[in-house]
Amino acid sequence: MPKKYKSKLTKVVAYKKLEGVLLRLKTWNEQHSNYYKIEEAALIGSLARDGESFGDIDICMKIKRSREFSPSKSKNDYIRWREQVLGYKPPVSESSAERGMFELDVGRYIKNRDGRIDMLRWDQFQPICLTLQPYVKLVEKCFSIVDSVEYIEKQRATFSKEQALEVVNSGLPEKPYDTKGIYWESYCSALNRYPSFIRYAVLERDSYVEPYSRYINVE
């Protein structure tokens, strides 16, 4: 569900926030990636589409381990490091919180406590791009390819028809198990945002042409 804000960000303010994101993406990989590094990142949503006012800044990010390590053996050193370098308090003394901090701290650092920056999982990137709306790759193969908002325009891209159909044929978006319930409604809602040729390619792939037709006619 899209967030509702009482006010919109101007392009000047949104770009200033994005400059901070770009700096933190680069800084993390160059200085803080002993355990996890940012492999891919992309700007999507209204700012990638280059409007004039914006609700938030949407960033899709993929991270991976920089090396093999044992969270239980590394946690004490990491907790000291994150407190001294990142300024984060030690996690609640629970094994799940301690195990998750290595990975979750990456998104926390990039977001920087800014409620207008929305961090999305990388597995959401391709389904979102099936709308054929513009996106901007920011990090590729662990290297920042955009380090200033001045280069955003040059990096703006969209999926081609061929790329989109290749994504559909790979199994995205995922087929729900049934034609009822929240997963079915989410599936249909996503399809409504896609161009018609993509929508029907997905429905043909999943053998859901008739159930979808009944669903939209009942609404």
Report d(CA 184, CA 76) in Å as an integer.
44
**The total number of structural domains that make up the chain:** 2
Length of the chain: 219
pLDDT digits over 110-144, tens only?
Answer: 999 999 999 999 999 999 999 999 999 999 999 99
Please, where are the H alpha helices in the chain? 11-31, 46-49, 71-81, 95-111, 125-129, 152-155, 161-169, 182-192, 196-206, 209-218
State the CATH number of the domain containing residue 83.
3.30.460.10
Q: Given phi > 0 = left and psi -120 to 50 = alpha, else beta, which region is 207?
A: left
Same domain, 81 and 114: yes
- For range 169-192, the mean pLDDT: 94
49 touches 134 (CB < 8 A) = yes
- Domain hosting 168: range is 163-218
Report d(CA 69, CA 87) in Å as an integer.
23
pTM: 0.90
pLDDT digits over 76-92, tens only?
Answer: 999 999 999 999 998 87
Report d(CA 123, CA 46) in Å as an integer.
19
Report d(CA 15, CA 34) in Å as an integer.
29
